[in-house]
Structure 1
Amino acid sequence: MTERNGNMFRGAIARGTFAAFVLAATFVAVNYSWRGASAEETAPAEAASPSAGQADLDKAIEAKLNASTFSDLGEVIRLCESAIEKGLDEANAEFAKQLLAATRFQRGLLVGETVLRTLPIDNNWPTFRKMAVEDLEKGLAVDPEQPEAWLMLARLNVLPNGDLERAKFAVDQAVDKAGDDRRLLVQALLLRADLTDDNEKKLNDLNRLLELEPDDPRVLRARGAALLALDKAEEALADFDKALAEAPGHIPTLEAKIDALLELKRFDDAMAVADQIEKASPGNAAAWFQRGRITGVRGEFEKALEYLNKAAEMEPRNVAVLMIRAAVLQELGKSEEAMKDVNRALELRPDNPALLRLRAAILAGSGQLSQAVRDLEQVREQGSAEPSIDLQLGLLYSIQKRHGKALEQFDKVLAVEPRNVAALRGRADTLLSLGRHAEAIADYEKALEVDPNDSGVLNNLAWVLATSPDEKIRNGKRALELATKACELTEYKAAHILSTLAAAYAENGDFENARKWSQKAVELGSENEKEALQKELESYKRNEPVRELIQEPLEPPAETPAEPSPESPSEEEKGTEPEAGPKDQPPDIPDAPEAPQDSPTGEQPPDDAPNGQIDAPAPKGEIDAPKGEIDTFHRA
């Protein structure tokens, strides 16, 4: 072979797409030699002769042409590295680097595809993933204009314990460098849409995808999910219907359609879709699980439990079924049974953030606040930045009278979601407990701008306007308006709100009506409330208005337990004595987030499945939670 022809042939090898060199060969061995990075890969070392490595380079070319196994590719890499180390002239040194990069690309892609194909069968996949990533990174350092390598690097890094930020960078590179490769661009845009938490950016990528593939059911389903997350349920439903027209009976799409119908409160239609799921897959628990969710959202908890029991009989180890059933049991007041389901689910999915949050809600409902806080703090330590976690922690800290920590959490939520009513209410209640009435009023007012019909906010604002010792703050007329509206919203059946109405009348000098409504409050109040309510009534009988100023410390005294026992009445239950908290009952601790995305469809990906498609699990290994207060029965 002449020098000229040899250079031409070498150029073809170096410049040709590495996909052309992916040989359809079976694996002879996987325990091939794997060398670490060396400086010689990018710069030839000093050698006695500038062509001392030529023989190794020629062998590398021959080995590349005949390569059919991982070991063969490893030998090509070894020979290229040896040639560079021994020394080559300038032209051949550049060629050797290109050949080395191309071979690393080829081996990295082969190993990467093997990892993605064989999950979770081969327990050694993390080792293979590491090998593939190393090859791809080294190859891209020499030739970064390889979109297929960038895409594979992204796909490998979204696997468990991968580098998510590197995956996002890599998929951006794949999109930017895809050029006219339509297939690769579609795959890269799908993955990027799956990786982003920004639903607007996700929507942009999916719209671009639909220009390329207007009838692709995967893309339609993904865009529907993004629209649903943006509270555009009608548009989402249209996308799901289009996807089902292309792929009738596809269970994940049918489940997504149920999500949209639940948002639209079209419960009967949602149940009809559950029937379609049963028809499409009669042998698994998916339809029963969905029926349980739908009836749970409807508030028909006994019926929901029947459906979920059926699902659990069919799939006793299904985490989603256990989680939703636990939430239903908690709603039915069966906390012990709910805790059993959650703990069983946690045995199957240790440290799962959604399950920890549900357990925290159950613990909080049982008065075990410190344990609930520990679970939520564990979720936060896992790296979750969900505002709803900060909200839950803030509410729990507030109940524990750890007011300083509570304010920190509410501030964090409101920095991200300034119109979050629960956070505004929680911060206002905490400020009220600290005696900071003016600041509390400001937050209550902001909350009412967002939701003017929140009876709890109406009540607490009316209470402070009627009872504050600060004459500049009191406003009897406004207090009466707010208290009356709160009573109307609760049909005059809430003792603590009737008590506020009485206080407002007293502040306006109408002690006759103050006594009337105070008496009704006493009659309706629980045993824990009656003593405080009776004291208010006695005050009105003396024609004296109630005055209240609570000034608790930022943190409870060291010798005082931060958590009251579950049997002890809460401060809110004690009424309006100076040591009480805000007048109204505290807001509910938000429930745990949606069920893990392994609903019983019969075609779930494994826990460690690759995330190269929209259908794969969330890349962070976390379950995304909807914004604001969390409804366990809804999915994002």
Structure 2
Amino acid sequence: MFCAEHLPMPQRFLLLGVIAFLFTEASLTVLQAETKGQEDLDQAIELQLTARTPADLERVSALCESAIKKGLEKDNETFAKQLLASTLFQISRRLGTAVLAQQQPRNPRWQAMRKKALENLTKGFSYDKTSGDAYTLFARLHSLPGGNKEKALEAANQSIDLFAEDNRKKADALLLRAGLQSDKQKQLADVDKAIETDPENVSGWQLRAIYYFQNNDIPKGITNLEKVLELDPKNVTALQQLATAYFSTEKEEQGREKLDQIVEIQPAIGYPLRSRYFQSQGNLTKAIDDLDAAIDLNPQRLDLVLMRADLYRRDRAFNKARNDVSRLLNRNPDLWQARYLRSQILADEGKLPEAISEMLSLVRGQTQNLSLRAELIQLYVRDNRPRKAVQECTKVLNSQAGHPTFLSMRATAYINIGKHALAIKDYDIALEKVPDSEHMLNNLSWILSTSKDDTLRDGKRALELGKRACEITNYKAAYILSTYAAGFAELGDWENATKWSSKAVELSRQDLANASTPDDKKKQKETVDHLEQELESYKQKKPWRERQETKENTTPIRIGGGNPAT
């Protein structure tokens, strides 16, 4: 057995020296291997202090990864991983903020930006799982369209756990998770917990108000919004929601008060909102005054000028309406909404051929705009051109087979020219797609009750259709009650025919009393007179019979003073 103690003294020291040298060389080799990445880490630290651009942060990230790969002392490796995770989260935050800033991302690169942010976050989590902010961002990005809802929920759960000691951020994370829940009770539970965690979280109270409104609990919704305003008296969104809630519960004074507050806080928002309220009340003068103020604040808001022009039209201030339309078209000659309004102004002035000419020009430029084509059809009917209306409806239906709106409009045009069988056919097809259309139920019931063609009348079905139309309108529409009465009359039930016809006359008289404009009063008076004639017929036990045969207006329509339209 070899033993150093048996060696001569010089040899012993020589051997010990060799062994010491070998151990030193080995230690140096290991140390060099462990510190080979130090230079990259030093560069990363230095660059991190001055990083300003995404490219700088990407370079910091690359240097950290390189340093870890090359090797570092244990403490430095831990630090490098922390720096790498922090940098990855910083890169993700910049990308994520750009994506989340848009309510509905329009940047064609937003999905690529989100993907890169999520990739960086995922890589960062492999080094650091303690950042609640990073998990929150991860959840928000996945909550966008095309994201992974399950991953979003998992990340939200992580955020909630990590923010155990931070009530403000924990509450925000709970609200985030509430928005990801599909179960309404779980949504409410998360919102409740958020408010319990942070009673001053305005978003929590506001979200709970929305939840109650969506579930038709208006009083609780109002209570929560009042708490929002207690915390944030100038919260315009809450004021607007509260005004809407008050109006829905017929608390007009409180609702109006909230609108006035919005005008004081943010007049550019408040004036248009209050104008819409005045419009709903039929107070066109005050509605226009508020729009005047809003336009003075922001003359570039063409939508407000368009709205004012329409109000002028409704108020029969046609010159002012035309001035606003001209102002709009001078700013934007291609603004079709302004040209559409010009057509409506002409129609209301009784210049129906000119109105049709304007609308034809619009339709030719936008053949796929079904709203414009529907308006053209209505103008044809108003100008006693029901056959042209039938033709236009048929053109649309050739490319939009079975479209219920145009089937209904064609059926109405058929009624105007006495073609009841064709009208019945169109209504039947349309009602298969829109079974609860009170307009179509009413018109079909009317034909089946009142047509002069004995083979078409069907009192039993007419009564069924009329009753359904009454139910949909809560028995509060005079013209539908009139149709219901006609169904009873067709069956010879004069007691019910008289009963419902009387109710129709009563409601129509109320409508006449509430009419606000001369035109409305004139139309309502004509309606009352007609319904009184129906009632008198039923009192004499005579069913109502009707067939319209409108003579077609064949006056040529010219577009822009050119050749007649075909």
* TM-score computed with the length of structure 1 as normaliser: 0.48
Q: Specify whether residues 102 and 481 from structure 1 end up closer, same or farther in structure 2 by C-alpha distance, changes over 3 A only.
A: closer
Whichever residue aligns with residue 447 of structure 1, its letter is D
In structure 2, what is the equivalent of residue 245 of structure 1? 230
Counting only pairs closer than 5 Å after superposition, residues 334-483 of structure 1 correspond to structure 2 as: 368=359, 370=363, 374=368, 400-401=393-394, 402-403=396-397, 433=423, 435=425, 447=436, 457-467=441-451, 473-475=458-460, 478=463
Give the distance between the partners of 2:343 and 2:369, measured in 1 at CA. 9
- Which of residues 153, 172, 175 is equivalent to 1:172? 153
Kindly indicate whether the alpha-carbon contact (under 8 Å) linking 2:275 and 2:288 is maintained by their aligned counterparts in 1: yes
CA displacement at 1:241 relative to structure 2: 0.9
Q: Distance in 1 between matches of 2:303 and 2:225?
A: 22
What corresponds to 2:137 in structure 1? 152
Distance 1:106 1:504, change over 3 A: closer
Alpha-carbon deviations, 1:588-629, whole Å to 9, x = none? xxxxxxxxxxxxxxxxxxxxxxxxxxxxxxxxxxxxxxxxxx
1:57 is aligned to 2:46 = no
Amino acid at match of 1:292: S
Counterpart for residue 259 of structure 2: 274
Aligned partners of 1:199, 1:255: CA distance in 2, in Å?
Answer: 24
Report if the CA contact (8 A) 1:477-1:508 is conserved.
Answer: no
| C-alpha contact (below 8 Å) 1:285/1:314 kept by paired residues | yes
The one-character-per-residue Cα deviations of 1:112-156 (angstroms, maximum 9, x if unpaired) are 588599x89xxxx99999778625423404637555224335657
In structure 2, the residue matched to 1:79 is 63
* Post-superposition offset of 1:108: 1.6
How much does 1:211 deviate? 3.1
Question: Would you say the 8 A contact 2:34–2:71 is kept in 1?
Answer: yes
In structure 2, distance between residues paired with 1:106 and 1:154:
13
Q: CA deviation at 1:171?
A: 4.4
Q: 1:315 aligns with which of 286, 298, 321?
A: 298
Q: Residue type matched to 2:230 in 1? A: A
Bigger helix fraction: 2
Which stretch of the first structure deviates more once superposed, 356-365 or 143-152? Answer: 356-365
Task: Work out which of the residue numbers 252, 256, 262 in structure 1 matches 2:247.
Answer: 262
User: Distance between the aligned counterparts of 1:51 and 1:426, measured in 2?
Assistant: 88
Asked if the contact 2:195/2:204 (under 8 Å) is kept, the reply is yes
Deviation by residue 1:19-44 (Cα, 9 ceiling, x = unmatched): xxxxxxxxxxxxxxxxxxxxxxxxxx
- Deviation of 1:311 after TM superposition, in Å, equals 1.8
Q: Which of the residues 61, 65, 68 maps onto 2:49? A: 68
Contact 1:480 1:505 in 2 (8 A): no
Q: For residues 186 and 546 of structure 2, what CA distance do their matches in structure 1 show? A: 54
Partner of 1:552: none
Distance 1:236 1:405, change over 3 A: farther
Q: How far apart are the structure 2 equivalents of 1:233 and 1:316? A: 37
Check whether the contact 2:92–2:120 (CA below 8 A) recurs between aligned residues: no
The residue number in structure 2 matching 1:381 is none
Partner residue of 2:509?
none
Match of 2:278 among 281, 295, 298: 295
Q: Give the number of the structure with larger relative contact order, counting CA–CA contacts within 8 Å between residues 6 or more apart.
A: 1
Deviation of the 1:107 alpha carbon: 2.9
Provide Cα deviations, 1:158-180, integer angstroms capped at 9, x if missing partner. 9xxxx633386664343121114
Conserved? CA contact 2:441–2:469, under 8 Å: no
For residues 29-79 of structure 1, what are the alpha-carbon distances to aligned partners after superposition, in whole Å with 9 as ceiling and x for unaligned?
A: xxxxxxxxxxxxxxxxxxxx9999865632344345553132764443222
Following TM superposition, by how much is the alpha carbon of 1:304 offset from its aligned partner in structure 2, in angstroms?
Answer: 0.9
Identify if the C-alpha distance between structure 1 residues 167 and 269 changes in structure 2 by more than 3 Å, giving closer, same or farther: farther
- Aligned pair partner of 1:206 in 191, 212, 221: 191
AA at the equivalent of 1:400: C
| Largest Rg, 1 or 2 | 2
Return closer, same or farther for 1:73/1:377 CA change in 2, 3 Å cut-off. farther
Distance 2:390 2:38 in 1: 71
SS in structure 2 opposite 1:68?
helix
CA contact (8 A) 1:339 1:362 kept: yes
| Alignment-mate amino acid for residue 125 of structure 2 | D
Report if the CA contact (8 A) 1:447-1:457 is conserved.
yes
Residue among 207, 210, 218 paired with 1:233:
218
The CA deviation string for residues 300-330 of structure 1, in whole angstroms up to 9 with x for no partner, is 2232112211221122234774575466456
Shift in CA distance, 428/199, structure 1 to aligned 2, threshold 3 Å: farther
Contact 1:438/1:473 (8 A) holds in 2: no
**2:209 is aligned with 1:224:** yes
How far apart are residue 291 of structure 1 and its match?
Answer: 2.3
Q: Please give the alpha-carbon distance, in whole angstroms, between the structure 1 residues aligned to 2:64 and 2:337.
A: 54
> Distance between the aligned counterparts of 2:433 and 2:36, measured in 1?
75
Q: Distance in 1 between matches of 2:330 and 2:205?
A: 36
Per-residue deviation at 1:456? 6.4
Q: Which moved more, 1:252-261 or 1:472-481?
A: 472-481
Q: Secondary structure at the match of 2:146?
A: helix
**Which of 300, 304, 314 is the matching residue for 2:287?**
304
Structure 1 distance, partners of 2:391, 2:181, is: 33
Is this contact kept in 2: 1:76–1:103, CA < 8 A?
Answer: no
Amino acid corresponding to residue 102 of structure 1 in structure 2: A
* CA distance in 1: counterparts of 2:273 and 2:392, whole angstroms: 35
- Cα 1:298/1:191, change in 2 over 3 Å: farther
Does the CA contact (< 8 Å) of 1:227 and 1:236 recur in 2? yes
SS at 2:234 equivalent: coil
Q: Is the 8 A contact 2:431 2:440 kept in 1?
A: no
In structure 2, what is the Cα distance between the partners aligned to 1:196 and 1:317? 41
Secondary structure at the counterpart of residue 300 of structure 2: coil
Residue 26 of structure 2 aligns with which residue? none
Q: Deviations over 1:380-425 (max 9, x none)?
A: xxxxxxxxxxxxxxxx999834347767666xxxxxxxxxxx9998
Q: Deviations over 1:200-237 (max 9, x none)?
A: 87656533432322342232223323433444433322
After TM superposition, give the deviation of residue 295 of structure 1 in Å. 0.9
1:101·1:142 contact (CA, 8 Å) conserved in 2? yes
Change (3 A) 1:244 1:481: closer
Q: Which moved more, 1:233-242 or 1:181-190?
A: 181-190
Compared CA separation, residues 374 and 363, structure 1 to 2 (3 A): farther
Inter-partner Cα distance in structure 2 for 1:87 and 1:312: 66
Question: What number of residue pairs does the alignment pair up?
Answer: 425
TM-score scaled by structure 2?
Answer: 0.53
Cα pair 2:96 2:117 within 8 Å, conserved: no
Question: Contact 2:467–2:484 at 8 Å: present in 1 too?
Answer: no
- Is the CA contact 2:96–2:113 (under 8 Å) kept in the aligned structure 1? no
Q: Is the 8 A contact 1:233 1:260 kept in 2?
A: yes
Distance 2:95 2:390 in 1: 47
